[in-house]
Amino acid sequence: MLVEILFWSFSAVLTGAALGVILARNPVHSVLFLVLCFFNAAVLWLLIEAEFLAIVLVLVYVGAVMVLFLFVVMMLDVNIEQLREGFARNAPLGAVIAAIMVVELWYVLWVRRLGIELPGATAPLPEGYSNTGEIGAVLYTEYVWPFQLAAFVLLIAIVAAIALTMRQRPGLKVQDVAKQVAVRPQDRVRIVNIPVEREP
Amino acid sequence: MQWIAAQWQSLVGVWVALPYFVQVTVQIVIVMMSVIIAVALLTLAERKVIGWMQLRLGPNRVTFFGLRLLRGWAQPFADVFKLLLKEIIVPGRSSRLLFLLAPLIVLVPALATWAVMPFSPEFVLADVDAGLLYVLALTSLGIYGIILAGWASNSKYAFLGAMRSAAQMVAYEIAMGFALVGVLMAAGSLNLGEIVRMQAGGPGSWNWLWLFPLFIVYFISGLAETNRAPFDVAEGESEIVAGFHVEYSGAAFATLFALPEYANMILISALTSVMFFGGWLSPFQGYLADDALLAQPGFFWLFLKICFFLFVFLWVRATFPRYRYDQVMRLGWKVLIPVTLVWIAVEGVLAWLRVGPWAA
């Protein structure tokens, strides 16, 4: 009973926050609504005792990805009026895409079912069952190669992103830190002995 | 004497008879209040210690009930009441809701992380398996409050401070996470209590010995995460006035800046003790007989270790000048992260060859 009340209230907040993401006028508020969405999704995962997934969602998406989102959105100073201009022109395309996604979701959830009994609670896990340990065991035995492959793809993405932004600009005044550290007082300071002059 | 024992027995009886959620709530309130009082005493300790290091006396006027012995001890409480009674000024064109929400977003993670802290062999609020991940997840949340404080203030200096803070925290969080990967490779568990138990056997078998580079990286990242000197470029009063909290005053200032910063210092010290210095384990374990009083594990040892690391925090602040901003970023990305990556590889080889703590 308590779990159901929690589930429905968090789901309501999740849906409300998801609407907030697309309806908020200020892009920074949108990003914050998205953070709220992730939090509620994490709580829903906690309710089905998937605490590892819940914490990782908060750690990776809220703690790292959304911070960078917020960082970029704040810096860009998006003009919302300009974005609104193309709305009428792009609306039909958006509607088609939305319809396709709804049909896909409906197909996955109601037609294929994936062998999951949709309404109803999950069976309580046995005492001493470690969610984290189980995921680790599966990830590093059965799915070790797909896992490594995914990690490798991400690494390539990082290297590519750095390579794209690394370009030598001429005339840039950059300090060479190694040189700065290696500096000794003798290189910079010259002590000059000036003899005292007497007043004539 | 018997009377006291009888009273104690009846108290224990009342406690056991309480419903579970009341017990937990009382425990949570006790832990929170202890942290907040520790924060108050830490602000005093900071001013005293730095004062002594600079051949000054520090606060020595405000006292309780005119007692000469306690001169200076009431200073933090006087400061707190002053801040709470002052007016909160909200800047004209700021985003009002976020401006007032930001201090709470900084404060809540700083206090919530204590839920998984193993205080003693028996006492931990939530003995969860993913404790280490929980700590990482929550410590990465405090940054939202700082960014929002900077953005909602609608001030150039606050915004610059928030930007600096965001970039710095993202950089040092990675180094910190990798340092903790090393810890969990050594312990084989994400449960903080389990991590402490794996280090049993005296100072020689605590994690710091085999994970020394990771310990150094973790502590430096901890300094940076808490925005402490020498990494306090987010405040940088010589360049950007006071960074993200320029526009804050009164109680909002106290909850945005003072309370979380010091609570996070205590937290980082406690985590360093737990991860690398055996938490509540006794340093005399293995040197004295097993039943000797000093060899017993307990909260006392954790308390001593936390005090030591807090002293190091203050010591560092009194000793080092502030880093230049680009030097902060360089240290995080180009020095600390490579060090952790190399040591994780070394640790993997050690574990594979079954050297040191992995011999069993």
DSSP A32-49: HHHHHHHHHHHHHHHHTT
pLDDT confidence tier of residue A101, bands split at 50, 70 and 90: very high
Give the highest mean pLDDT range of B114-128, B150-164, B301-315.
Answer: B301-315
Residue with the larger pLDDT of the pair B127 and A18 = A18
Kindly report the pTM of this predicted structure.
0.83
Contact A62, A39 (CB under 8 A): yes
What is the maximum span of chain B, computed from C-alpha positions, in angstroms?
A: 67
> Chain A contacts of B166, Cβ < 8 Å?
67, 70-71
Provide the percentage of residues in chain A whose pLDDT is more than 70: 88
Q: How far apart are the first and last CA of chain B?
A: 49
> What is the number of residues in chain A?
200
Report, as an integer, the average pLDDT of B224-244. 77
Note whether B129 contacts A55, CB cutoff 8 Å.
no
- B356 or B282, higher pLDDT: B282
Query: B-chain residues within 8 Å CB-CB of A52?
Result: 130, 133
The verdict on a CB contact (< 8 Å) between B143 and A51 is no
Instruction: List Cα–Cα distances, A136 to A42, B286, B341, in angstroms.
Output: 19, 34, 21
Residue B326 in tokens: 């680009």
Domains of chain A: 1-79 (1.20.120.1200)
Which of A71, A76, A39 is CA-nearest to residue A58? A39
Q: Which of B29, B9, B75, B79 is nearest to B257 (CA)?
A: B79
In the predicted structure, residue A131 carries a pLDDT above the cut 80: no
Percent of chain B past pLDDT 90, that is, above it, reads 6
In angstroms, the separation between the Cα of residue B141 and the nearest Cα of chain A is 6
Measured in whole angstroms, the distance separating CA B358 from the mean position of its chain's CA atoms is: 29
Per-residue pLDDT, averaged over A60-79, amounts to: 80
Q: How confident is the model at residue B259 (pLDDT cuts 50, 70, 90)?
A: confident
* Chain A residues within an 8 Å CB radius of B167: 71
Q: How far, in Å, CA of B258 to CA of B251, rounded?
A: 10
The CA distances from residue B202 to A185, B121, B286, in Å, are: 46, 16, 5
Alpha helices by DSSP H, listed for chain B, are: 2-17, 20-53, 75-85, 96-112, 131-139, 142-152, 156-187, 192-198, 207-210, 212-225, 237-240, 250-253, 259-276, 299-319, 325-330, 337-353
More reliable by pLDDT, B237 or B307: B307
Of A71-85, A139-153, B5-19, B42-56, the range with the lowest mean pLDDT is A71-85
Query: For residues B213 and B335, is the Cβ–Cβ distance under 8 A?
Result: no
Distance between CA A171 and CA B189 in Å, rounded?
Answer: 52
Instruction: Tell which wins on pLDDT, B139 or A125.
Output: B139
Higher confidence at residue B65 or residue A121?
Answer: B65
The shortest CB-CB distance from A28 to any of B129, B138, B151 is to: B151
Of A25-29, A48-52, B237-241, B330-334, which range is least confident? B237-241
Q: Residue A112 has what pLDDT?
A: 64
pLDDT of B242 > 80? The answer is no
Stretch B149-167: mean pLDDT: 83
d(CA A183, CA A185): 7
What's the rounded Cα separation, in Å, for the pair B163 and B233? Answer: 10
Whether residue A19 is predicted with pLDDT greater than 70 in this model: the reply is yes
Tell whether the model's pLDDT for residue A153 goes beyond 90.
yes
**Of A64-68, A78-82, A154-158, B269-273, the least confident:** A78-82
Q: Which of residues 60-79 of A touch B (CB under 8 A)?
A: 62-64, 67-68, 70-71, 74-75
Question: Which tokens in the block code for residue A114?
Answer: 């994936």
Distance from CA of B139 to the nearest CA of A (A): 8
Q: Residues near B219 by Cβ (< 8 Å), separated by ≥ 6?
A: B268, B272, B309, B312
* A59, A68, A74, A127: best to mutate for the B interface, most B CBs within 10 A: A59
Decide if A46 touches B, using CB distance below 8 A. no
A119, pLDDT greater than 60 = no
Tell me the per-residue pLDDT of A158-196, one tens digit each, with 9 for 90 and over: 899 888 888 777 777 877 778 888 888 888 888 888 888
Q: What is the ipTM of this complex?
A: 0.78
Q: Evaluate if residue A104 carries a pLDDT over 70.
A: yes
Q: What residues have CB less than 8 Å from A154, skipping those under 6 apart? A: none
* pLDDT (average), residues B52-60: 86
Give the separation between CA B107 and CA A69, rounded to whole angstroms: 22
How large is the average pLDDT for residues B71-96? 82
Gyration radius (Cα) of chain B, Å: 22
Q: What is the pLDDT of residue A96?
A: 93
Q: Looking at chain B, which residue has its C-alpha nearest residue A77? A: B151
Burial A73-100 (b: 16+ CB within 10 A, else e): bbeeeeeeeeeeeeeeeeeeeeeeeeee
Instruction: Using the predicted structure, report yes or no on whether residue A124 has a pLDDT greater than 90.
Output: no
Q: Check whether B120 has a pLDDT greater than 90.
A: no
The count of other CB atoms within 10 Å of the CB of residue A50 is: 18
Q: Are B140 and A64 a contacting pair at CB < 8 A?
A: yes
Q: Does A165 touch chain B (CB under 8 A)?
A: no
A36 vs B: CB within 8 A: no
Residue B257 has pLDDT above 80, yes or no: no
Q: Which of A49 and B221 is assigned the larger pLDDT?
A: B221
Closest Cβ opposite residue B129 in set A32, A58, A132: A132
In a mutational test of the B interface, the residue from A57, A67, A172 whose CB has the highest number of chain B CBs within 10 Å is: A67
Nearest chain A Cα distance for residue B186, angstroms: 16
